[in-house]
Amino acid sequence: MSDSSFPNFPTDYASILTRIDQIDPLLYGRTRNFLNGAVTYLSPYISRGVISVKQVQQRVLKKGFAPTAIEKFLQELAWREYFQRIWQAKGDLLLHDLKQPQLDVAHRELIASLANARTGIQAIDHAIQEWYNTGYLHNHVRMYVASLMCNVGKAYWKMPSQWMYYHLLDGDVASNTCSWQWVAGAFSSKKYYCNQENINRFTNSFQQGTFLDTSTEQLASMKIPTELSETMHWKGITLLPQKQEIQIDWQKPTLLYNSYNLDPHWRKDEDVNRVLLLEPSHFEKFPVSEKVLNFILALSKNIPSIQIYVGEVEELVQLSATHSETSPSFISKEHPAFTHYPGKKDDRDWIYPNVIGYHNSFFAYWKKCSKQLYAPDLFAAD
């Protein structure tokens, strides 16, 4: 039964699979940029590793859609892998300007009116309020918020990106960080600007006379509007559950789950210990809200016999040493946030496992992916 705390995002696995089967990839391609468009609402489950982009792609293609007919949908799945490959290649350099410094920065804080949903741009303010309530923000609105924050309000991208990540059920450090840098011009050739006309079109609103009711060219040269002038410092804090004792049979392998790997089918039929590891050091570096943490915990209930351990992985290693004379066997899934885990690391379920490394643009990456998509037999032996 799904957790009623998240009415927009059921947490039971059966409902998640149903949501995959309800995708209309053709309608998605035509309407995804509109606030009421046919988006999939799968991002929280993909980001948390409950399902994979490969799983989604395979289930959609089995319906008989030709890849060429739904290429926009397939590209959006590939974007997620692209961002993950950047994180793999860059490590913590991801958290700094990737291509060039962000230009025209006035401060490194949050803009208060955006954080408080009081910009006067009705569609944006309403979307931010809904986001705080639900944990979900439409991707196009994320771009609007980042553009107002960084380009019109001239904030440096880092603290605002952390603020957004903190509140997103689908928070993914790679896609969130790269997207903010893309909007701010640190990971793109130019800054992204939205005006009131653009916002009205894609949010089905009709507001006029705001500070955005001008051309994007004029926005680029405009001084910071009064509505965006007040700044505030922000720091997220994650309140983890109290540490509880767990029962581990150290003669068996121990699978380490985390907030990015909640896959209920991972080594499903093996006789192992299953531990959801919540490391304080991870959440100090990448804090999430109480709502997001509760969502993670709810999703973990799809994994039979899983136990929650609040502590560092080194503590588990030490714990094993006091209870077993043999070396413990730890297994996790590869992920840039958890390279410090000991033991074996299984590969993630990639759509394009052969397209690795850093690519300077998504379309350089997609060019290689599409060759594998349209001629998969060429890669069968890899």
Is 246 a member of any domain?
Answer: no
**Does 298 reside within a domain?**
yes
Same domain, 278 and 260: yes
The pairs formed by 75-79 with CB atoms below 8 angstroms and a separation of 24 or more are: 75/366, 76/28, 76/32, 77/53, 77/351, 78/53, 78/351, 78/352, 78/362, 78/365, 78/366, 78/369, 79/175, 79/362
Boundary-marking domain end, from 232, 263, 295: 232
Report pLDDT for 58: 96
Q: What is the DSSP letter of 194?
A: -
**Token pair 């992916």 is at which residue?**
369
80 and 173: one domain? Answer: no
Q: What is the pLDDT of residue 378?
A: 42
Q: What span, in angstroms and rounded, lies between the C-alpha atoms of 359 and 378?
A: 21
pLDDT at site 325: 66
Angle (CA) 334-87-147 rounded to 5° is 140
* Residue 3 banded pLDDT, cuts 50, 70, 90: low
Residues 224 and 117 in one domain: yes
The reported pLDDT for the residue numbered 293 is 98
Instruction: Give the pair of three-digit tokens for residue 352.
Output: 């394009």
Domain that holds residue 143: 96-232
Mean pLDDT of the 199-214 span: 97
Regarding whether 103 and 86 lie in a shared domain, the answer is no
Query: What per-residue confidence (pLDDT) applies to 381?
Result: 38
Shared domain for 101 and 196, answered yes or no, is yes
Is 153 part of any domain?
Answer: yes
Residue 261 domain flag:
yes
Mean pLDDT of the chain: 95
Which segment of 44-53, 194-203, 322-331, 358-367 scores lowest on mean pLDDT? 322-331
Residues 371 and 335 in one domain: no
pTM of this structure: 0.95
Number of compact structural domains in the chain: 3
Which CATH number does the domain housing residue 103 bear?
1.10.579.10
CATH number at residue 369: 1.25.40.80
Query: What mean pLDDT do residues 163-175 have?
Result: 98
> Which band of pLDDT confidence, cut at 50, 70 and 90, is reported for residue 67?
very high
pLDDT of residue 178: 98
Length of the chain: 382
Is 243 among the domain residues? no
pLDDT in tens, 84-136: 999 999 999 999 999 999 999 999 999 999 999 999 999 999 999 999 999 99
Give the model's pLDDT for residue 5: 72
pLDDT at 382 over 70: no
DSSP letters of 265-292?
TTTTTS--EEEEEE-HHHHHHS---HHH
Q: Could you report the per-residue pLDDT of 229-286, keeping only the tens digit for each? A: 999 999 999 999 999 999 999 999 999 999 999 999 999 999 999 999 999 999 999 9
Provide the 3-class DSSP secondary structure of residue 16: helix
**Are β-strands 273-278 and 254-257 bridged in parallel, bridged antiparallel, or unpaired?**
parallel
Residues 114 and 224 grouped into a single domain: yes
pLDDT category, 4, cuts 50, 70, 90?
low
pLDDT for the residue numbered 2: 52
Over 50: is that where the pLDDT of 318 sits? yes
Q: If you average pLDDT over residues 223-229, what whole number do you get? A: 98
Confidence label for 1 from pLDDT (cuts 50, 70 and 90): very low
Please tell me the distance from the alpha carbon of residue 297 to that of residue 280, in angstroms, as a whole number. Answer: 15
Q: What's the pLDDT at 79?
A: 97
7 in any annotated domain: no
Same domain, yes or no: 115 and 226: yes
Averaged pLDDT, 194-211:
97
Residues 6+ away with beta carbon under 8 Å from 343: 256, 328, 329, 330, 331, 332
Does 107 reside within a domain?
A: yes
